[in-house]
Structure 1
Amino acid sequence: MKSCLFRRAALAGLIVIAALPAGAVVAPAAAQVGGIVHDPRNYAQNILTAARTLEQINNQIRQLQNQATSLVNEARNLQSLPTSTLRELQGQVDRTRELLGEAQRVAFDVGDIQKTFEGRYRGAALAGPQAAMVANAEARWNDSVGAFQDAMKVQAGVVTNMGAARQSISTLVTASQSASGALQAAQAGNQLLALQSQQLGDLAAAISAQGRAEMLDAARAAAAEAEGRERFRRFRKGH
C-alpha cells in the first residue's frame, strides 16, 4: 500500500516537473527517503516557477482577447449605415424645383422679368393706345393672380414635404441611436444635415414664391396708378 502511494507521488512530481520550462528544475539536495530524492526548497521553487509561467500564459490570453475585441470594434466602426433617405430627399428637392419651374406668365428668370416689365409695367405700355392700355392692364392682373396661385402651389408642396421629412427624421434618429460604429453614426448625422438643407431649400422656395407674388401685385398697383395719371392727362387734354 505504501509502495503504491510513493509511486503515485513520484509520478505526480514528474508530471509537474515536465510541465516546467527548461532550466526551471534545480539540482536536488542530498535528502533521500526510500530511494526518492526530495528537497522541499527546490520543490517550492518549482511550484512558484510553474505558477508564474501559468500567470504569463493567462496574461498572453487576455492580451489576445483584448486584441480580438479591438478588431471587432474597428470592424463595427467601418460598417456603413444600412438606412439611407438621400433618394427621398432628392425627390423632395426635385418636386419643389418643378413647382418653381411651373411659374405662370412671369418666370423666375432675370431676362424674362426684364422683358415682361418693359412690355406691360412701364414706358410705352402705360402710354399707348387705349386698347393697348386695357390689354396691358388685364395682363398685369393675370400676372398677379398667377403669381399668387404659384405661391400657394409651392406652399402646398412644402407642406407635403414636411410629412415626408417627419418620417425621414424618425428613421434617421432611430438609425443614429442604434448605430454600431462611428461610421454609421457619422452617416446618420450627414443625412440629418442633408434633410435640414432640404427643409431650408423648401423654406427659401416658399419665401421666393410669396415675395414674387407680392412684388408683382405691387408692380401692378404702381402701373395702374401711372396709367390712371395718363388717362387723366388725356381726359384733361380732350376737354
Structure 2
Amino acid sequence: MRYRLIPAVMVVAFTVSASQSAHAQWAVYDGANHVENVLIAARTLQQIDNQITSLANQAQMLVNQGRNLASLPLSTLSTLQSTISQTTALLAQAQNIAYSVQSVEQQYQQSYTSLSSGMSDSALFSQAQTRWQNSVGGFEDALKLQARVVGNIPSDSSAMTQLVSASQSSAGALQAAQAGNQLLALQSRQLSDIQAELAANGRAADLERARQAANEAGAEAQYQHFSQYDAYVPQAVAIPSSGY
C-alpha cells in the first residue's frame, strides 16, 4: 500500500506543476500588446522606407542639378573670334580710300569734287588716274572679302553640325543653353560677314559711280579750258628763196 501511494502523489504533483506552468505562460503572453507592437514596427518600417525614398529622390535631384550645371565640352568661340579678326583685318586693308568718315571726306574732296576749268591738263589727268585706281582697288577689295566669306562656309558648316549634335545630346539645361548660344554666335558672325561683303560691294560700286561722275565733270572742265583759247587765225608765211 505504501508503494502504491507514491506514484499517485507524484502524478498529482506533476499535474499541479504542469497546470501552474501552463497558467504562468498564458499570463505572460498579451495578444493586444503583441498586435500593437507589430503595428508600431510596421509603421516604423514604413517611415524608414519613406526616408529611404526621400533620400533617393534628393540624390537624383542632386544628380540632375549636377547635369544641368555641367558645362558644354565643345566651344567654337575662339574660332569665331579668329574669323572675325581676319575679316576686320581685311577691311582695314582697304586700298586708297579707307572705311573712315574722315578719310572719305578728305580724299573724296581732293579727287572727285575739286575740278575746275582753271586746272591744267596734267592735274586733270592725275586726278582721273587716281579715281581709276580707287575704283580698281575697290573692286579688288570686294573680291578679296567675297573670297574670305566663301572660304568660311566649310568651317561654318562643320561648327554648326557639331553644335547641333552637342545640343541634341546635352546632359543638362546648361549644356543645351550653351550650345544654343554658340549657334547664335555663329549666326551673328555670318551676318557680320554678309554686312562686310555688302559694305565692300557698295564701296566698289559707289567709287565707280563717283569716278564716272567725276570724269564727266573733268571732261567739262577740259572743254571749258580748251574753249578759252582764241580761235586759230591763218597767217601768211614768207618762204625764203633758195637763190637758184
Distance 1:221 1:34 in 2: 128
Cα deviation code 1:63-90 (max 9, x no counterpart): 0101111111111222111110000000
- Tell me whether 1:35 sits opposite 2:10 in the alignment: no
Is the partner of 2:228 in helix, strand or coil? helix
**Higher RCO structure, 1 or 2 (CA under 8 Å, sep 6+):** 2
Count of residues in Structure 1 that have an aligned counterpart in Structure 2: 208
Q: Equivalents in 1 of 2:117, 2:210: separation in Å?
A: 13
CA distance in 1, matches of 2:109, 2:55: 81
Match of 2:127 in 1: 136
User: 1:72 is matched with which residue?
Assistant: 63
Partner residue of 2:196 out of 199, 205, 214:
205
Q: Residue type matched to 2:185 in 1?
A: A
Distance in 1, matches of 2:62 and 2:215, equals: 76
Change (3 A) 1:187 1:105: same
Q: Deviations over 1:100-138 (max 9, x none)?
A: 111111111122212211221112477511011112111
Q: Which residue of 2 aligns with 1:184?
A: 175
2-structure distance, mates of 1:202, 1:49: 75
Paired position in structure 2 for 1:237: 228
Q: Distance in 2 between matches of 1:201 and 1:212?
A: 16
- Aligned residue in 2 for 1:23: none
Q: Please, what TM-score do these two structures have when normalized by structure 2?
A: 0.79
Equivalence for 1:216: 207
Which residue type is aligned with residue 180 of structure 1? A
State the partner residue of 2:159.
Answer: 168
Give TM-score, length-normalised by structure 1.
Answer: 0.81
Deviation at 1:42, TM superposition (A): 3.4
* 5+ residue gaps, structure 1: 1-31
Instruction: Give ranges in structure 2 of 5+ residues lacking alignment.
Output: 1-21, 232-244
RMSD in angstroms over aligned alpha carbons?
1.8
Once the 2 structures are TM-superposed, how far is the Cα of residue 181 of structure 1 from its aligned partner?
1.6
State the alpha-carbon separation in 2 of the partners of residues 104 and 173 from structure 1. Answer: 40
**The one of 98, 105, 117 aligned to 2:96:** 105
